Amino acid sequence: MYPYDDNLDFTALRAEHQAQHGLTIAYIKRRVGEGMEYANEVAEAVVSAEGGYYQLREMPEEFAGALGAGVSHRLVADAEAWETLRQVLQLVEGVSSGTQAVRSLSLYVLYAGGSLRTRQGMFVFDQKPGEAAFAHGRWQPELLPRFFKLRLDAGDAPLPPALGLSNGVLFFLAPQNHDDGRCLLATLARTPAMQDLGLRAAPTMMN
């Protein structure tokens, strides 16, 4: 939908998404209600008995949420966070090389200081059916990201167990300060009650 265009007006893009998705975002947030809140400088998430969602601070219209039993989450220590990242990278490398079959995969990773507006401090990978893979930025294996979102439809392909889903969204938030302790990993399984309103790969880059 949005090609990689350095002249793309970020404010106009936000306004368009707000017009398209503002009511849906408000509805899901209202239905999820109060719950466990988890946030850092990049993103915020809420998970309750009714469902869960996340949205980015820089672009709140970059949003995914779900209602019902398709939502799961856990707070994890650094070791499990690193293992999940390792398996995400292994999956991306497999898809990129053609050794891992999936129907589609879209990932973006924001590191400390990363920005959608400037497209700095981030890594993006997107694979659509029948198209060449798109990549931008650099995976930084020595850094724990502040946020990542993986959108995946693996079909019947076997996947690493740490990912916890084959069709839906996995997202990750690091704590605001390292001393806060554990990271958030959450999955939104693709069901009729799941809404993934973000662009493929990363906002302002491509769809």
In tens, the pLDDT along 73-100 reads 999 999 999 999 999 999 999 999 989 8
Residue 65, classed as helix, strand or coil, is strand
Length of the chain as a residue count: 207
Summarised one tens digit per residue, pLDDT across range 130-174 is 888 899 999 999 999 999 999 999 888 888 776 778 889 999 999
| Domain boundary assignment for the chain | 1-207
- At 159 the pLDDT is 81
Q: How confident is the model at residue 190 (pLDDT cuts 50, 70, 90)?
A: confident
Summarised one tens digit per residue, pLDDT across range 2-47 is 334 444 576 777 777 777 778 888 999 999 999 999 999 999 999 9
What's the chain's average pLDDT? 84
Task: Quote the pTM value.
Answer: 0.85
The type of residue at 58 is E
Q: Quick one: which of 160, 205, 157, 163 has its CA closest to 188?
A: 163
Q: Which residues contact 178 (CB under 8 A, 6 or more apart)?
A: none
- At 10 the pLDDT is 66
- At 180 the pLDDT is 66
Query: How many percent of the chain have pLDDT more than 90?
Result: 57
What is the separation of C-alpha 184 from the centre of its chain, rounded to a whole number of angstroms?
12
What is the C-alpha separation between 188 and 114, in angstroms, rounded? Answer: 24
Burial class (CB in 10 A: 0-12, 13-18, 19+), 11: exposed
Summarised one tens digit per residue, pLDDT across range 96-116 is 998 988 999 999 999 999 988
- At 77 the pLDDT is 93
- At 8 the pLDDT is 56
More confident: 195 or 6: 195
Q: Which two tokens stand for residue 63?
A: 């949003």
